[in-house]
């Protein structure tokens, strides 16, 4: 079906592209809407962006910017899983203007992979890339959860990194509580 | 409910720890997080590494990530460098292998040769 077992891994994969593109700020917005039976995931970065030609080709598995292998499977597989689940996929990008990746799904589609461990994915992004900030917005029918790592950095100052073990535990706890409070499907994982 | 007050306390404790242990990190751990790595479970490996360091109360080891290293058949890949010694590349590091890797190499300074991927 797809190379990843759940959507949180797809999100991490796309975020890795943003990191490679030199992003300093990543916007992740997830909306679970049982009313419209829709799930949407939008990842927007302020990295170097892609040319028009690259955007047109990026969903081709034989197109990649990495030099270690000849294939780039992340984007083509996300596109495939979205489309196979009654949803849509789109990438908007311009050189110097960042990239926005959007994948939607029919929430109740039988083949739709679970959201998975979003907390694990976010911690991975935050730890692995010290220069990156994340603005995360998650909406469900029960409410909204927001976290902005810039707010956390402001409290910590320059001397304590987000990757400090106690800070990570704090963020992990905040994410777990937040997702549980809005009844997100992702609250059951990780 | 998580609060900014709690965060301020964490900051104070971290600054105290830093004052005691000094600048710099004792070791560096790099997890390969390319598409192949993620598909093989690298994110869970990274989570396990962070949890292991937290449980052992180790705060002077830097954990970062890198993209595809071209060793896709050995994913998840973890690289360990203790101090100024040579960086060692390990293959097939699933969550089960993480405690031993941290114990033996990161803490003990001994390379786990059985898991090493050579010729990188």
pLDDT-based confidence at residue A40 (cuts at 50, 70, 90)? very high
* Residue B92: both structure tokens together: 């097939």
User: Is residue B98 included in any domain, yes or no?
Assistant: yes
User: Is residue A1 included in any domain, yes or no?
Assistant: no
CB pairs under 8 A between A and B: 104
User: Is residue A171 included in any domain, yes or no?
Assistant: yes
Please count the structural domains in chain B. 1
Q: Do A127 and B34 touch (CB under 8 A)?
A: no
Closest Cβ opposite residue A4 in set B31, B38, B69: B38
Tens of pLDDT, residue by residue over B7-37, are 999 999 988 887 777 667 889 999 999 999 9
Domain carrying residue B33: 23-115
Going by C-alpha positions, the residue among A79, A87, A80, A83 that lies closest to residue A31 is: A87
Domain CATH for B51:
3.40.30.10
Domain carrying residue A89: 7-188
User: Is residue B38 included in any domain, yes or no?
Assistant: yes
Q: What is the ipTM of this complex?
A: 0.89
C-alpha span between A23 and A137 (Å, rounded): 18
* Residue B15: both structure tokens together: 């600054």
H or E element in which residue A42 lies? strand A38-45
User: Is residue A184 included in any domain, yes or no?
Assistant: yes
Tens of pLDDT, residue by residue over A49-77, are 999 999 988 888 888 887 777 778 899 99
For the four alpha carbons of A48, A54, A58 and A63, in that order, the dihedral sign comes to negative
End-to-end CA distance of chain B, in Å?
A: 47
pLDDT at B119: 60
Going by C-alpha positions, the residue among A64, A171, A56 that lies closest to residue A118 is: A171
């Amino acid at each position: 079906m797809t190379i990843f077992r759940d959507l949180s891994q797809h999100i991490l994969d796309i975020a890795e592209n943003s990191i490679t593109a030199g992003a300093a700020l990543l916007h992740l917005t997830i909306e679970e809407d049982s009313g419209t039976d829709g799930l949407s995931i939008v990842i927007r970065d302020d990295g170097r962006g892609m040319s028009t030609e690259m955007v047109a080709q990026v969903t081709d598995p034989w197109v990649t910017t990495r030099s270690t292998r000849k294939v780039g499977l992340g984007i083509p597989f996300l596109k495939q899983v979205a489309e196979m689940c009654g949803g849509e996929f789109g990438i908007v990008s311009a050189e110097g203007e960042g990239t926005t990746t959007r994948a939607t799904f029919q929430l109740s589609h039988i083949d739709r992979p679970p959201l998975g461990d979003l907390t694990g994915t976010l911690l991975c992004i935050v730890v692995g890339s010290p220069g990156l900030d994340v603005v995360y917005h998650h909406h469900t029918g029960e409410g909204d959860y927001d976290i902005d790592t810039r707010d956390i950095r402001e409290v910590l100052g320059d001397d304590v990194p987000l990757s400090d073990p106690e800070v990570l535990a704090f963020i992990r706890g905040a994410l777990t509580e937040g997702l549980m409070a809005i009844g997100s499907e992702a609250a059951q994982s990780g | 409910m998580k609060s900014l007050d709690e965060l301020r306390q964490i900051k104070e404790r971290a600054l105290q720890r830093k004052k005691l242990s000094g600048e710099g990190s004792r070791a560096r751990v790099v997890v390969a997080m390319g598409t192949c790595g993620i598909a093989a479970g690298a994110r869970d490996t990274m989570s396990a590494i962070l949890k292991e360091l937290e449980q052992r109360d180790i705060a002077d080891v830097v954990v970062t990530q890198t993209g595809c290293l071209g060793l896709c058949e050995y994913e998840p890949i973890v690289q360990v460098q203790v101090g100024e010694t040579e960086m060692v590349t390990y293959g097939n590091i699933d969550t089960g292998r993480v405690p031993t890797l941290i114990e033996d190499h990161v803490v003990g300074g001994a390379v786990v040769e059985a898991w090493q991927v050579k010729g990188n």
